[in-house]
């Protein structure tokens, strides 16, 4: 997974993969089939380890706004610590344009993340004298777009202030749909 994540699908050779796993190319083919099959396995493992874990934590949060804030706090910290970006987002840009099967898998995976935000927004209680969200799906998509932007900018070397600004905006988007005039602050 580290090879694909650091170098991308195309730039990673079977030799690189076999070396990283301390095995021969033939053993790699016997164990995983081909490079494409191994990539799919790595992408699934990545999703389980990172994206699905964060969404599960969001689903388990008692307060959806705090859950979204924690999601972004974790994402900013991870993005600053590891500048490889997101394997899913990187793959969306590199692999999806030429591989319809992976494009479908990547789209479904991004939808899982969007659905997590949707479920969180849906759980927000209605404020007195305020209409509930008019379009929860659109808000969830905008928050997902903040995730993607944050991860791409982190990979490109974006600084802490820029990443925190995106995170604050995403949390404010969720919060402002719930309460008028909120001032959401994500700690530095």
CATH number at residue 132: 1.10.357
Q: How far apart are CA 72 and CA 66, in angstroms?
A: 10
- pLDDT tens per residue across span 2-25: 999 999 999 999 999 999 999 888
Residues in CB range of 128: below 8 A, 6 or more apart: none
Residue 70 covered by a domain: yes
Q: Output the pTM of the full model.
A: 0.86
Q: Rounded CA gap, 159 and 95, in Å?
A: 27
Q: Out of 79-88, 100-109, 171-180, pick the least confident.
A: 171-180
| Residues 144-178: tens digit of each pLDDT | 999 999 999 999 988 999 999 999 999 999 987 65
Of the chain, the percentage scoring pLDDT greater than 70 comes to: 89
Residue 168 lies in a domain: yes
60 within a domain of the structure (yes/no): yes
CA distances from 112 to 37, 70, 183 (A): 21, 18, 28
For the chain, the average pLDDT equals 89
Residue 154 lies in a domain: yes
For residue 177, the model assigns a pLDDT of: 63
Contact 144, 167 (CB under 8 A): no
Per-residue model confidence (pLDDT) at position 125: 81
**What's residue 145's pLDDT?**
97
pLDDT at residue 86 above 60?
yes
Identify the band that residue 33 occupies on the pLDDT scale cut at 50, 70 and 90. confident
**How many C-beta neighbours within 10 Å does residue 21 have?**
14
Residue 129 structural domain: 40-176
pLDDT at 133: 53
Query: What distances in angstroms separate CA 60 from CA 12, 24, 137, 183, 184, one per listed residue?
Result: 37, 43, 20, 24, 21
Q: Tell me how many domains the chain contains.
A: 1
- Is residue 85, in this structure, part of any structural domain at all? yes
Confirm whether 6 is domain-assigned: no
184 pLDDT higher than 60: no
Q: Does a structural domain hold residue 121?
A: yes
Local confidence band at 30 (pLDDT 50, 70, 90 cut-offs) = confident
Question: Has residue 12 been placed in a domain?
Answer: no
């Amino acid at each position: 997974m580290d090879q694909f994540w650091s170098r991308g699908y195309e730039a990673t050779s079977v030799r690189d993969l076999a070396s990283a796993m301390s095995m021969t190319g033939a053993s790699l083919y016997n164990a995983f089939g081909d490079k494409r099959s191994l990539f799919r396995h790595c992408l699934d493992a990545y999703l389980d380890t990172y994206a699905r874990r964060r969404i599960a934590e969001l689903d388990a949060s008692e307060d959806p706004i705090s859950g979204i804030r924690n999601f972004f706090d974790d994402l900013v910290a991870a993005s600053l610590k590891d500048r490889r970006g997101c394997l899913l987002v990187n793959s969306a840009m590199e692999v999806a344009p030429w591989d319809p099967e992976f494009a479908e898998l990547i789209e479904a995976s991004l939808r899982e993340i969007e659905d997590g935000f949707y479920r969180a927004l849906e759980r927000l209680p209605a404020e007195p004298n305020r209409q509930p969200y008019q379009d929860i799906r659109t808000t969830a998509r905008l928050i997902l777009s903040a995730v993607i932007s944050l991860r791409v900018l982190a990979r490109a070397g974006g600084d802490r202030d820029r990443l925190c600004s995106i995170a604050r905006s995403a949390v404010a988007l969720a919060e402002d749909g719930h309460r008028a005039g909120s001032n959401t602050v994500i700690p530095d």
